[in-house]
Homo-oligomer: A and B are copies of this chain.
């Protein structure tokens, strides 16, 4: 049942070298020989052992996918996109979830685990410390980042500054001027550029409008629903002059929505909220958001590593567009101050 290459060679009446060449579509095989070998191999159900092939050739046809989380929206979608794209061209995906330490310390990556196992590396989501990038580089394999990453290596992502400017401009176009911002804690993820850039975009767009951003208009918290909820609660209690919120992720925006509801604040009548991501749930909740393609980012990154492996030239920076999706959480600013009914829950 489990045939080897020489079984095929014997059955086809040729040498193993010819079988190998024919099966991989190499040029120096006559058309009729190739056809014959192919049919014999197919008939026998022969498939070359990926291990033996990898050992002999040095190419594993495998990509290492490094990610801190597989169970979060952005990450799992990017992974799905990358996996599909790679499998389509016969590449395998080795999944490595490396832990982000609780205390906000460096995520630890062990390059030895990848040594001689992969042809290329995809780093999804978090940028690595310089030392970690260096250690990965010792593997001598192409590396592509998604989300944000290291210079020296291609990055696939979105233009966070621009998308944020656009979001805030949209709020302004509705008449808002006192626009707050909720984002993730910069301590834990200092090198994670999206939050930084989104904040920059917020500031920029306010400046454009001649509005001076009050430091009391921004709030940091965890980058999830709960974090968004807490941040929103603090923010709304502290700065009742705010009429709209630009929130750096949909999950945090949903938290803000919950906080508003608990405080008796109507959305969008009393408060407008816009998020970033295009999370599926946003659609159901009716959240206005800047939607980013995620599966496509994964697929594109996959294509980039493959290009690098093949020695083709690639762009160092692939930027996807985010798209404003207007739904029910944004509207004209209210008149008068905000009445917070039950801030302490």
Contact = CB atoms under 8 A, between A and B. Distances in A.
Interface of A: 1-2, 45, 47, 49-52, 54-55, 60, 62, 65, 69-73, 76-77, 79-80, 83-84, 87, 92-97, 112-113, 115-117, 138, 224-226, 229, 254-255, 258, 280-281, 284-285
A2 B255 CA distance: 50
A117 B284 contact: no
A1 B138 CA distance: 9
Nearest to A54: B51
A111 to B, nearest CB: 10
Given A87-B96, A95-B93, A71 B77 contact: yes
B55 A52 contact: yes
A80 B87 contact: no
A84 B97 contact: yes
Copies in the complex: 2
B70 A80 contact: yes
22 contacts: A47-B112, A47-B115, A49-B55, A50-B117, A51-B60, A51-B116, A51-B117, A62-B94, A71-B79, A80-B97, A83-B95, A83-B97, A84-B97, A92-B94, A93-B94, A225-B280, A225-B281, A226-B284, A254-B284, A255-B284, A258-B285, A281-B281
Contacts of A71: 73, 76-77, 79-80
Given A70-B70, A83-B97, A92-B94, A229 B55 contact: no
Name, among A71, A83, A229, the residue most crowded by chain B CB atoms within 10 Å (CB to CB): A71
Contacts of A281: 225, 281
A94 B76 CA distance: 15
A273 to B, nearest CB: 16
Contacts of A45: 112
A225 B284 contact: yes
Contacts of A280: 224-225
